[in-house]
Amino acid sequence: DQVKRLSTLVAAHMSMGRDAACGDLYVTDDVKPEEIRKTWEKMAAETLRLDVIPPAFEQLRRKRNRRKPVPYELIPGSLARMLCADWWYRKLWKMRCEWREEQLRAVCLVSKKASPYVSYEAVMHKREQRRKSLEFFRSHELVNEDGDTLDMEDVVNASSSNPAHRRNEMMACVKGLELIAEMRGDCAVFYTITCPSRFHSTLNNGRPNPTWTNATVRQSSDYLVGMFAAFRKAMHKAGLRWYGVRVAEPHHDGTVHWHLLCFMRKKDRRAITALLRKFAIREDREELGNNTGPRFKSELINPRKGTPTSYIAKYISKNIDGRGLAGEISKETGKSLRDNAEYVNAWASLHRVQQFRFFGIPGRQAYRELRLLAGQAARQQGDKKAGAPVLDNPRLDAILAAADAGCFATYIMKQGGVLVPRKYHLIRTAYEINEEPTAYGDHGIRIYGIWSPIAEGKICTHAVKWKMVRKAVDVQEAAADQGACAPWTRGNNCPLAENLNQQGKDKSADGDTRTDITHMDDKELHDYLHSMNKKERRELAARLRLVKPKRRRDYKQRITDHQRQQLVYELKSRGFDGSEKEVDLLLRGGSIPSGAGLRIFYRNQRLQEDDKWRDLY
């Protein structure tokens, strides 16, 4: 409520500032774009005073050597956002969460001795946010112009938002880079880069770091980005090239550090390693002495010990969902890597840290669009021969076939290979301006499909327009409950139906004041249990201890062979083995952990993913 009130006051202040600026500048009716830009500059200055970056700031701010003309068309949308209370609420709430987290870091509540990577309050907030998102997805669906509907939860689980799909795609990409490196004769090197001591708030023993300079997590990430940009510029100037993947991870106190899996020519390995080491340790060099290991480490990957993919697999998994790491214990925190995945995701979401970054290869968005196009073409071809060409150009069709097969190595080589500038890629992602304006009056950009410089026109992969709507409620099911509706306030002056005994008298008159909970649904039971006082809870606990639960050991859901095949296929698509043991466990009412605190159940003839802490909310 305080943040909402503050956002309303800030929006009103910005509106008053705009009126004052317009009165000073707009003397005549003939207003030029540059005068409107001066009004925007005054409002942008007020926004920067609140430590908030104005919308379209980089495009509209004054630059000494501007290569392109000023995009005046971005000014109306930017002004509308700075005058909107909802926009300010999102910015101020994000700032509030970051400041609160930094205060907890300052008092050593974010460390291996308290809560690793991120505070416990931030993890709870992320759980609640995920729970609300799941409820939102389950209550909405997508509808197109023809009336076809798609369950929104199924759409989200089928996209790259699914941790299993995200992990599988990155592992396939790393495997493709490994195959290309073997073909080119390149070597693989694993680097670890850490920030100087002044960015770390807490020592390994959980005590405050005396050399900490109040640097935030975001500043540590910006330091690594700036260092890497300077190194990349020097490397290109020296004529050196590499390609690979970068993983951003938190230390136990939340400070960012990087792991890089890089492929390069064997003759360039020593030069690249020496240059990267130079930039990694050049700041605060005196604190390292002769040992630069705490700041920079490099390891040449020996194929006899393991492949590059096996080196990076653990770092990819433990930063997504912890798949396959249930038995691994973190050396830094002493906790399971699978349990730490939830904390890492909350850390990356709170501080807006990009966890993974591929470089030196074609974009992966075009790869996704090609796979989408291949699936659409397969449904349209129907009974045609499998493997029939989809695109007229054989070079482009070969790229599509490689993407459809999931072979990143072939896809990259058909696109032009590694270390090739983007302007030489054969297939790129096509974008278009959104027809419907946003709430601020401007038109955003969305993905249209693919295009190629060697072929005319664009190919649309998003021809069907979907609209998100709330699911319809079954009126018959809603009318089945004849009891009173939930009150708007905490007190309810309209009691529920009277609880009568067999003689038609109130049970309370007979001295039995216990409420019958056998006929309550889940919501009524939940409300009743939360309304009990301590004495009533103790009495209920004593009654429950006297009742032995009846367990049905032979309980097992009955499904057909076709449903079993669908269940096995869906388990494999989510990254599981789909074995008989997993299927029987689900059919007997059990669950399988899927990482990040989520578990998979089999209910109503379909897989459902739920939070194992759901009952605590």
**pLDDT winner (highest mean) among 79-93, 382-396, 470-484, 490-504:** 79-93
**Domain membership flag for residue 280:** yes
Q: Is 525 a residue whose pLDDT tops 50?
A: yes
Give the end of a domain, one of 341, 359, 377. Answer: 359
Q: Is 26 a residue whose pLDDT tops 80?
A: no
pLDDT of residue 19: 86
The reply to whether 179 and 301 lie within a common domain is yes
The reply to whether 261 and 305 lie within a common domain is yes
Region 274-301: mean pLDDT is: 94
Phi/psi zone of residue 597: left (φ > 0), alpha (ψ -120 to 50 degrees), beta? left
The reply to whether 222 and 336 lie within a common domain is yes
pLDDT of residue 482: 47
The reply to whether 177 and 250 lie within a common domain is yes
**Domain membership flag for residue 577:** yes
Give the end of a domain, one of 314, 335, 359. Answer: 359
The reply to whether 231 and 328 lie within a common domain is yes
pLDDT of residue 163: 92
Q: In sequence order, which residues have a C-beta less than 8 Å from that of residue 242 and are 6 or more positions away?
A: 235, 262, 263, 264, 268, 272, 360
In terms of C-beta density within 10 A (0-12 exposed, 13-18 middle, 19 or more buried), how is residue 233 classed? exposed
Region 383-403: mean pLDDT is: 86
Region 10-31: mean pLDDT is: 82
pLDDT of residue 250: 96
pLDDT of residue 596: 53
Q: Return the closest-CA partner of residue 113 out of 344, 294, 334.
A: 334
The reply to whether 173 and 299 lie within a common domain is yes
Region 347-363: mean pLDDT is: 95
The reply to whether 250 and 227 lie within a common domain is yes
Cβ 408 vs Cβ 173: under 8 Å: yes
Q: Is 610 a residue whose pLDDT tops 70?
A: no
- In this structure, of 154-158, 198-202, 340-344, 585-589, the range with the lowest mean pLDDT score is 585-589
- In this structure, of 37-46, 341-350, 384-393, the range with the lowest mean pLDDT score is 384-393
Q: Of the residues 89, 191, 223, 311, which is catalytic?
A: 311
pLDDT greater at residue 574 or residue 434: 434
Q: In sequence order, which residues have a C-beta less than 8 Å from that of residue 9 and are 6 or more positions away?
A: none
DSSP code of residue 202: B
**Domain membership flag for residue 117:** no
pLDDT of residue 20: 86
Q: Is 52 a residue whose pLDDT tops 60?
A: yes
pLDDT of residue 64: 83
Instruction: Name the amino acid, one letter, at 117.
Output: Y
Distance CA 446, CA 545 (A): 59
Q: In sequence order, which residues have a C-beta less than 8 Å from that of residue 167 and are 6 or more positions away?
A: 316, 317, 320, 321, 323, 575
- In this structure, of 101-115, 364-378, 554-568, the range with the lowest mean pLDDT score is 554-568
The reply to whether 234 and 320 lie within a common domain is yes
The pLDDT-based confidence of 506 (bands split at 50, 70, 90) is very low
> Which residues on neighbouring strands pair with residue 593, listed in sequence order?
599
Q: Of the residues 191, 315, 367, 602, which is catalytic?
A: 315
pLDDT of residue 586: 83
Region 381-395: mean pLDDT is: 79
Print the domain residue range for 265: 163-203+214-359
pLDDT of residue 483: 47
Q: In sequence order, which residues have a C-beta less than 8 Å from that of residue 328 and are 6 or more positions away?
A: 314, 318, 336, 337, 338
The reply to whether 225 and 267 lie within a common domain is yes
**Domain membership flag for residue 107:** no
Q: What percent of the chain has pLDDT over 90?
A: 59
Q: Is 494 a residue whose pLDDT tops 70?
A: no
Question: Helix H segments across 238-352?
Answer: 269-280, 308-318, 337-351
As a whole number, the mean pLDDT across the chain is 86
Q: Return the closest-CA partner of residue 7 out of 65, 57, 61, 81.
A: 81
Distance CA 337, CA 329 (A): 6
Give the end of a domain, one of 314, 336, 359. Answer: 359
**Domain membership flag for residue 152:** no
The pLDDT-based confidence of 245 (bands split at 50, 70, 90) is very high
pLDDT of residue 605: 73
**Domain membership flag for residue 183:** yes
Region 11-34: mean pLDDT is: 82
The pLDDT-based confidence of 425 (bands split at 50, 70, 90) is very high
pLDDT greater at residue 522 or residue 430: 430
Kindly list the strands in the beta sheet with 445-451, ordered across the sheet, starting from the edge strand earlier in the chain: 428-433, 445-451, 458-460
pLDDT of residue 383: 64
Question: Per the structure block, which two tokens stand in for 455?
Answer: 């072929």
Residue count (the chain): 617
- In this structure, of 133-137, 333-337, 478-482, the range with the lowest mean pLDDT score is 478-482
The string of pLDDT tens digits covering residues 257-269 is 999 999 999 999 9
The reply to whether 457 and 529 lie within a common domain is no
pLDDT of residue 552: 52
**Domain membership flag for residue 79:** yes
Region 2-25: mean pLDDT is: 89
b (16+ CB within 10 A) / e for 484-518: eeeeeeeeeeeeeeeeeeeeeeeeeeeeeeeeeee
**Domain membership flag for residue 158:** no
The string of pLDDT tens digits covering residues 100-147 is 999 999 999 999 998 999 999 999 999 999 999 999 999 999 999 888
336: CATH? 3.30.70
The reply to whether 335 and 394 lie within a common domain is no
> Which residues on neighbouring strands pair with residue 467, listed in sequence order?
143
The reply to whether 352 and 398 lie within a common domain is no
How many structural domains comprise the chain?
5
315 classed as catalytic: yes
Query: What pTM does this model have?
Result: 0.75
The pLDDT-based confidence of 283 (bands split at 50, 70, 90) is very high
343 classed as catalytic: no
